[in-house]
Amino acid sequence: MCLVVCLGGLLDGQSAWGQKELRVAAAADLQPVMPVLAQEYEKAKGVKLVVSFGSSATLVTQILNGAPFDIFLAADYVFPEKVVIAGLADGGEPTAYAKGTLVLWTRKDSGLLPLSLDRLTDPRVKTIAVANELHAPYGLAAAVALRNMKLYEKVAPRFVVGENISQTAQFVESGNAQLGLISLTAASTEHFREIGTYVLVPTSQYPAVRQCAVILAKSEHKAEAHIFLNWLLSPAIQGELPQMGLGPVQ
């Protein structure tokens, strides 16, 4: 599942009014984040962002197949590194722009409060939403955490698997799953805070979710893409990320 949100207009590098645009491939965990950043960036730089959301695996496949993005904001290091290895990146290695956090989330009306990690093995729990560990870095983080906590075999039969972390969050938000291992970016939104609650999965139980970016070598807007990435890494924007469920890289 890949959702395209045109936070700009046309896909030719300029809007119908001649305004500059950047085509951004963004990991699904950024779906609550990018509209805010896009609005700020347009105000600061006069450039619109045209954003395509999907699992990092889906987006990297599109890039390897020639999709005309300018920059790829992944949810880990591995998938943008594939772009580098393929010779399609403008630069030698991915650039970390944020840190992700995994949480266990449930609706307030689930009957599973107070929430704790012990709820994963509660006999009343029949469904647990997780992202596909082969496609989504947060899905891999969840699988590793469950294995490290010696819970994977016990809870795997209850999995409801989402193609990406956004779909996974939708499963538990809708009640189609009782619990969900989702990103803090989703759990931090006003809607999710209103209808649910979460607990952090200990970061010691899964590899760091180091979200990295690459600028595409074939982009006709590499200079503009570098300006955007530098803006994203600026102290002011990094300081805003915790409000959106992401950790700064500095």
C-alpha dihedral over 117, 121, 125, 126, to 10 degrees? 130
Q: Calculate the alpha carbon distances from 58 to 18, 74, 123, 166 in Å.
A: 30, 11, 35, 13
User: What pLDDT, on a 0 to 100 scale, did the predictor assign at position 8?
Assistant: 42
Cα–Cα dist 174/187, whole Å? 14
Closest CA to 28 of 159, 110, 132: 132
At 112 the three-state DSSP class reads coil
User: What pLDDT, on a 0 to 100 scale, did the predictor assign at position 91?
Assistant: 84
User: What pLDDT, on a 0 to 100 scale, did the predictor assign at position 14?
Assistant: 52
Q: Is the dihedral of CA 41, 42, 46, 50 positive or negative?
A: positive
Burial environment of residue 193 by CB neighbours within 10 A (0 to 12, 13 to 18, 19 or more): exposed
Cα–Cα dist 237/230, whole Å? 10
Cα–Cα dist 93/48, whole Å? 26
Domain spanning 2-99+210-244: CATH superfamily:
Periplasmic binding protein-like II (3.40.190.10)
**Residues of the chain whose pLDDT is less than 50?**
1-12, 15-17
User: What pLDDT, on a 0 to 100 scale, did the predictor assign at position 18?
Assistant: 57
Q: Calculate the alpha carbon distances from 28 to 22, 72, 90, 194, 198 in Å.
A: 18, 12, 23, 21, 19
User: What pLDDT, on a 0 to 100 scale, did the predictor assign at position 34?
Assistant: 97
- Write the DSSP symbol of residue 74: -
DSSP3 helix / strand / coil % (the chain, rounded to 5): 40, 25, 35
Q: What is the second-level CATH architecture of the domain 101-205?
A: 3-Layer(aba) Sandwich (3.40)
The reply to whether domains 2-99+210-244 and 101-205 share a CATH topology is yes
- Give residue limits of the domains in the chain: 2-99+210-244, 101-205
Closest CA to 73 of 47, 100, 46: 100
Which pair of structure tokens corresponds to residue 63?
């890039």
> Phi then psi for 149, rounded to 5 degrees?
-90, 5
Decide: 51 and 206 in contact? Cβ < 8 Å: no
